[in-house]
Amino acid sequence: MRYRRFSDCSVSEKMLDTLFILTLSAGYLLAMVLTYTVVGFSVKDIELKYYGNRSGTRLEAALNGPMRVYHNPPEHDEIVKWIYAGSTEKQYIAKIKPIIDEKCVKCHNPKSGLAIPDFSSYEKIKPLAAADTGMSIASLARVSHIHLFGIGLIFYLLGRIFILAEMPVWLKRSLVAVPFLAIALDIGSWWITKYIPVFAYTVLAGGVLMGISFAVQALTSLYQMWFYGPKGAETEKTSTEK
Ligand code: HEC
Protein backbone atom coordinates (compact mmCIF):
# COMPACT_ATOMS: atom_id res chain seq x y z
CA MET A 1 0.00 0.00 0.00
CA ARG A 2 1.00 3.60 -0.51
CA TYR A 3 1.39 5.91 2.49
CA ARG A 4 0.51 9.61 2.56
CA ARG A 5 3.36 12.05 2.03
CA PHE A 6 3.65 15.84 2.06
CA SER A 7 3.14 15.80 -1.70
CA ASP A 8 -0.38 14.45 -1.02
CA CYS A 9 -1.29 17.30 1.35
CA SER A 10 -3.48 20.23 0.35
CA VAL A 11 -2.14 23.73 0.81
CA SER A 12 -4.52 24.35 3.69
CA GLU A 13 -3.25 21.27 5.50
CA LYS A 14 0.35 22.40 4.96
CA MET A 15 -0.54 25.87 6.26
CA LEU A 16 -2.11 24.36 9.36
CA ASP A 17 0.95 22.17 9.95
CA THR A 18 3.34 25.07 9.36
CA LEU A 19 1.56 27.44 11.74
CA PHE A 20 1.39 24.68 14.35
CA ILE A 21 5.13 23.99 14.05
CA LEU A 22 6.00 27.70 14.24
CA THR A 23 3.84 28.11 17.34
CA LEU A 24 5.46 25.09 18.98
CA SER A 25 8.90 26.44 18.13
CA ALA A 26 8.13 29.75 19.81
CA GLY A 27 6.88 27.82 22.84
CA TYR A 28 10.05 25.75 22.87
CA LEU A 29 12.26 28.84 22.76
CA LEU A 30 10.36 30.46 25.62
CA ALA A 31 10.66 27.24 27.64
CA MET A 32 14.43 27.51 27.11
CA VAL A 33 14.44 31.13 28.32
CA LEU A 34 12.44 30.11 31.39
CA THR A 35 14.75 27.19 32.17
CA TYR A 36 17.77 29.44 31.74
CA THR A 37 16.48 32.11 34.11
CA VAL A 38 15.03 29.76 36.75
CA VAL A 39 17.58 26.93 36.78
CA GLY A 40 20.48 27.69 34.43
CA PHE A 41 22.05 25.33 31.95
CA SER A 42 25.21 24.28 33.76
CA VAL A 43 25.67 20.87 35.34
CA LYS A 44 26.20 22.66 38.68
CA ASP A 45 22.83 24.45 38.38
CA ILE A 46 21.05 21.19 37.60
CA GLU A 47 22.76 19.45 40.49
CA LEU A 48 21.73 22.24 42.89
CA LYS A 49 18.13 22.04 41.75
CA TYR A 50 17.62 18.28 42.10
CA TYR A 51 20.28 17.18 44.60
CA GLY A 52 20.57 20.42 46.54
CA ASN A 53 23.57 21.73 48.41
CA ARG A 54 23.85 19.33 51.31
CA SER A 55 26.93 20.86 52.86
CA GLY A 56 25.37 24.27 53.30
CA THR A 57 22.09 26.04 54.03
CA ARG A 58 20.35 28.63 51.92
CA LEU A 59 20.46 31.02 54.86
CA GLU A 60 24.23 30.81 55.25
CA ALA A 61 24.78 31.01 51.48
CA ALA A 62 22.69 34.20 51.36
CA LEU A 63 24.47 35.70 54.39
CA ASN A 64 27.83 35.10 52.70
CA GLY A 65 26.48 36.24 49.35
CA PRO A 66 23.91 38.85 48.34
CA MET A 67 22.60 39.55 51.90
CA ARG A 68 26.10 40.33 53.16
CA VAL A 69 25.46 44.05 53.11
CA TYR A 70 22.46 43.96 55.43
CA HIS A 71 24.20 42.85 58.62
CA ASN A 72 27.54 43.21 60.43
CA PRO A 73 30.20 40.57 61.25
CA PRO A 74 29.17 39.94 64.91
CA GLU A 75 25.59 39.39 63.77
CA HIS A 76 26.88 37.11 61.02
CA ASP A 77 28.77 34.96 63.55
CA GLU A 78 25.74 34.82 65.82
CA ILE A 79 23.43 33.59 63.06
CA VAL A 80 25.94 31.06 61.68
CA LYS A 81 26.57 29.71 65.20
CA TRP A 82 22.83 29.27 65.62
CA ILE A 83 22.55 27.38 62.31
CA TYR A 84 25.30 24.93 63.29
CA ALA A 85 23.90 24.49 66.80
CA GLY A 86 20.74 23.01 65.28
CA SER A 87 18.70 26.21 64.78
CA THR A 88 16.45 25.73 67.82
CA GLU A 89 13.49 27.98 68.56
CA LYS A 90 14.69 28.83 72.07
CA GLN A 91 17.99 30.17 70.78
CA TYR A 92 16.19 31.89 67.95
CA ILE A 93 13.95 33.89 70.27
CA ALA A 94 16.84 34.72 72.58
CA LYS A 95 19.53 35.74 70.10
CA ILE A 96 18.52 35.67 66.46
CA LYS A 97 15.04 37.14 66.25
CA PRO A 98 16.18 40.63 67.33
CA ILE A 99 18.76 40.70 64.53
CA ILE A 100 16.35 39.38 61.90
CA ASP A 101 13.60 41.76 63.01
CA GLU A 102 15.89 44.74 62.85
CA LYS A 103 17.90 43.94 59.71
CA CYS A 104 15.91 41.59 57.50
CA VAL A 105 12.14 41.68 58.08
CA LYS A 106 11.72 45.08 56.44
CA CYS A 107 12.16 43.25 53.13
CA HIS A 108 11.50 39.65 54.10
CA ASN A 109 7.83 39.96 55.02
CA PRO A 110 4.71 38.81 53.19
CA LYS A 111 3.62 42.38 52.46
CA SER A 112 6.81 43.37 50.64
CA GLY A 113 5.43 42.02 47.38
CA LEU A 114 8.85 40.47 46.61
CA ALA A 115 9.13 36.79 45.80
CA ILE A 116 11.50 36.18 48.70
CA PRO A 117 11.19 34.08 51.87
CA ASP A 118 9.13 35.51 54.71
CA PHE A 119 11.12 35.86 57.96
CA SER A 120 8.35 37.08 60.24
CA SER A 121 8.28 33.88 62.30
CA TYR A 122 10.57 31.04 63.40
CA GLU A 123 8.56 28.46 61.41
CA LYS A 124 9.13 30.43 58.24
CA ILE A 125 12.88 30.88 58.60
CA LYS A 126 13.63 27.38 59.91
CA PRO A 127 13.58 25.53 56.54
CA LEU A 128 16.23 27.92 55.21
CA ALA A 129 18.48 27.08 58.15
CA ALA A 130 18.39 23.36 57.29
CA ALA A 131 20.64 21.68 54.70
CA ASP A 132 19.19 22.03 51.21
CA THR A 133 18.26 18.57 49.93
CA GLY A 134 17.07 19.69 46.52
CA MET A 135 13.67 19.21 45.00
CA SER A 136 11.08 17.39 47.10
CA ILE A 137 9.46 14.19 45.85
CA ALA A 138 6.13 16.03 45.63
CA SER A 139 7.59 18.78 43.44
CA LEU A 140 9.43 16.24 41.29
CA ALA A 141 6.22 14.27 40.77
CA ARG A 142 4.32 17.45 39.92
CA VAL A 143 6.88 18.78 37.45
CA SER A 144 7.45 15.31 35.92
CA HIS A 145 3.81 14.57 35.21
CA ILE A 146 3.26 18.00 33.64
CA HIS A 147 6.29 17.47 31.39
CA LEU A 148 5.39 13.88 30.48
CA PHE A 149 1.88 14.86 29.40
CA GLY A 150 2.94 18.10 27.73
CA ILE A 151 6.08 16.99 25.91
CA GLY A 152 4.60 13.58 25.09
CA LEU A 153 1.66 15.25 23.38
CA ILE A 154 3.87 17.74 21.55
CA PHE A 155 6.16 15.05 20.13
CA TYR A 156 3.19 12.90 19.19
CA LEU A 157 1.61 15.70 17.17
CA LEU A 158 4.89 16.86 15.66
CA GLY A 159 5.72 13.22 14.85
CA ARG A 160 2.38 12.79 13.03
CA ILE A 161 3.39 15.64 10.73
CA PHE A 162 6.99 14.48 10.41
CA ILE A 163 6.07 10.95 9.25
CA LEU A 164 4.76 12.50 6.02
CA ALA A 165 8.37 13.29 5.06
CA GLU A 166 10.33 11.19 2.56
CA MET A 167 13.52 9.46 3.75
CA PRO A 168 14.93 5.98 4.23
CA VAL A 169 12.64 3.92 6.43
CA TRP A 170 15.31 3.09 9.03
CA LEU A 171 16.06 6.79 9.48
CA LYS A 172 12.46 7.79 9.90
CA ARG A 173 11.76 5.03 12.39
CA SER A 174 14.74 6.12 14.47
CA LEU A 175 13.88 9.83 14.35
CA VAL A 176 10.31 9.13 15.45
CA ALA A 177 11.53 7.20 18.52
CA VAL A 178 14.42 9.43 19.63
CA PRO A 179 12.37 12.22 21.26
CA PHE A 180 10.63 9.73 23.50
CA LEU A 181 13.95 8.22 24.55
CA ALA A 182 15.16 11.75 25.25
CA ILE A 183 12.10 12.45 27.46
CA ALA A 184 12.76 9.24 29.41
CA LEU A 185 16.45 10.09 29.76
CA ASP A 186 15.81 13.68 30.83
CA ILE A 187 12.96 13.16 33.29
CA GLY A 188 14.28 9.82 34.58
CA SER A 189 17.57 11.53 35.34
CA TRP A 190 15.84 14.25 37.39
CA TRP A 191 14.81 11.54 39.82
CA ILE A 192 18.20 9.84 39.90
CA THR A 193 20.00 13.19 40.30
CA LYS A 194 18.03 13.83 43.47
CA TYR A 195 20.06 10.97 44.99
CA ILE A 196 23.17 10.74 42.79
CA PRO A 197 24.31 14.22 41.69
CA VAL A 198 26.57 13.09 38.83
CA PHE A 199 23.41 12.28 36.82
CA ALA A 200 23.06 16.02 36.20
CA TYR A 201 25.07 15.19 33.07
CA THR A 202 22.40 12.83 31.75
CA VAL A 203 19.71 15.44 32.53
CA LEU A 204 21.63 17.79 30.29
CA ALA A 205 22.21 15.12 27.63
CA GLY A 206 18.49 14.25 27.59
CA GLY A 207 17.56 17.92 27.23
CA VAL A 208 20.03 18.48 24.39
CA LEU A 209 18.84 15.35 22.58
CA MET A 210 15.23 16.52 22.93
CA GLY A 211 16.09 19.93 21.47
CA ILE A 212 17.96 18.39 18.55
CA SER A 213 15.17 15.96 17.71
CA PHE A 214 12.61 18.76 17.89
CA ALA A 215 14.69 20.87 15.50
CA VAL A 216 15.28 17.96 13.08
CA GLN A 217 11.60 17.01 12.91
CA ALA A 218 10.38 20.60 12.64
CA LEU A 219 12.91 21.71 10.01
CA THR A 220 12.63 18.54 7.89
CA SER A 221 8.85 18.85 7.87
CA LEU A 222 8.85 22.54 6.94
CA TYR A 223 11.44 22.03 4.23
CA GLN A 224 9.80 19.04 2.60
CA MET A 225 6.33 20.55 2.84
CA TRP A 226 7.22 23.61 0.78
CA PHE A 227 10.49 23.07 -1.08
CA TYR A 228 10.76 19.40 -1.89
CA GLY A 229 8.54 17.13 -3.90
CA PRO A 230 9.71 14.29 -6.08
CA LYS A 231 7.38 14.11 -9.05
CA GLY A 232 5.95 11.35 -11.25
CA ALA A 233 7.58 7.94 -11.22
CA GLU A 234 9.97 8.99 -8.53
CA THR A 235 7.13 9.61 -6.13
CA GLU A 236 5.99 6.04 -6.55
CA LYS A 237 9.40 4.69 -5.77
CA THR A 238 10.48 6.80 -2.82
CA SER A 239 7.22 7.44 -1.04
CA THR A 240 6.17 3.86 -0.58
CA GLU A 241 7.17 2.57 2.82
CA LYS A 242 7.44 -1.20 2.95
C1 HEC B 1 16.61 45.59 51.10
C2 HEC B 1 15.83 44.39 51.15
C3 HEC B 1 16.44 43.15 51.84
C4 HEC B 1 17.00 43.08 53.07
C5 HEC B 1 17.15 44.18 54.12
C6 HEC B 1 17.39 41.69 53.24
N7 HEC B 1 17.08 40.97 52.14
FE8 HEC B 1 17.39 38.98 51.87
N9 HEC B 1 16.70 39.11 49.95
C10 HEC B 1 16.27 40.28 49.36
C11 HEC B 1 15.99 40.00 47.96
C12 HEC B 1 15.47 41.01 46.93
C13 HEC B 1 16.30 38.64 47.75
C14 HEC B 1 16.19 37.85 46.45
C15 HEC B 1 17.28 38.18 45.48
C16 HEC B 1 18.58 37.53 45.79
O17 HEC B 1 18.62 36.34 46.16
O18 HEC B 1 19.60 38.23 45.64
C19 HEC B 1 16.75 38.12 49.02
C20 HEC B 1 17.12 36.82 49.23
C21 HEC B 1 17.46 36.29 50.46
C22 HEC B 1 17.71 34.90 50.71
C23 HEC B 1 17.75 33.84 49.63
C24 HEC B 1 16.61 32.92 49.67
C25 HEC B 1 16.81 31.81 48.66
O26 HEC B 1 16.00 31.77 47.75
O27 HEC B 1 17.77 31.04 48.79
C28 HEC B 1 17.99 34.75 52.02
C29 HEC B 1 18.26 33.47 52.79
C30 HEC B 1 17.96 36.08 52.59
N31 HEC B 1 17.64 36.98 51.62
C32 HEC B 1 18.27 36.37 53.91
C33 HEC B 1 18.34 37.65 54.42
C34 HEC B 1 18.79 37.98 55.76
C35 HEC B 1 19.22 36.94 56.79
C36 HEC B 1 18.71 39.32 55.91
C37 HEC B 1 19.08 40.16 57.11
C38 HEC B 1 20.42 40.06 57.53
C39 HEC B 1 18.22 39.86 54.63
N40 HEC B 1 18.01 38.82 53.77
C41 HEC B 1 17.98 41.21 54.41
C42 HEC B 1 16.08 41.51 49.96
C43 HEC B 1 16.50 41.83 51.23
Least confident of 20-29, 40-49, 226-235: 226-235
**Tens-place pLDDT, residues 77-136:** 999 999 988 899 999 999 999 999 999 999 999 998 888 999 999 999 998 998 888 888
62 CA distance to ligand 1 middle (Å): 7
170 CA distance to ligand 1 middle (Å): 55
- Ligand 1 lining (C-beta closer than 6 Å): 58-59, 62-63, 66-67, 70-71, 103-104, 106-108, 114, 116-117, 128
Task: Give, as one character, the DSSP assignment of residue 51.
Answer: T
Q: What are the residue ranges spanned by the domains of the chain?
A: 6-50+134-238, 54-132
Least confident of 55-69, 155-169, 209-223: 55-69
**Tens-place pLDDT, residues 3-23:** 999 999 999 999 999 999 999
Nearest CA to ligand 1 atom 6: 104
Where residue 39 falls among pLDDT bands split at 50, 70, 90?
Answer: confident
Which atom of ligand 1 sits closest to the CA of residue 114? 12
pLDDT reported for residue 235 = 46
Which atom of ligand 1 sits closest to the CA of residue 106? 5
**CA 180, CA 50: separation in Å to the nearest integer?**
22
CA distances to 96, 147, 150, 173, 185 from 68, rounded to whole Å, are: 16, 37, 41, 56, 39
pLDDT at 237 over 70: no
**CA 70, CA 67: separation in Å to the nearest integer?**
6
204 CA distance to ligand 1 middle (Å): 30
**Tens-place pLDDT, residues 62-81:** 998 889 999 999 999 999 99
pLDDT reported for residue 53 = 81
pLDDT reported for residue 231 = 56
Which atom of ligand 1 sits closest to the CA of residue 75? 38
Which atom of ligand 1 sits closest to the CA of residue 70? 38
140 CA distance to ligand 1 middle (Å): 26
Which atom of ligand 1 sits closest to the CA of residue 66? 18
CB atoms within 10 A of CB 158: 22
CA distances to 6, 15, 17 from 9, rounded to whole Å, are: 5, 10, 10
- Helix, strand, coil % in the chain, rounded to nearest 5: 75, 5, 25
pLDDT at 239 over 60: no
Kindly state the average pLDDT of the residues 148-175: 97
pLDDT at 240 over 90: no
Where residue 153 falls among pLDDT bands split at 50, 70, 90?
Answer: very high
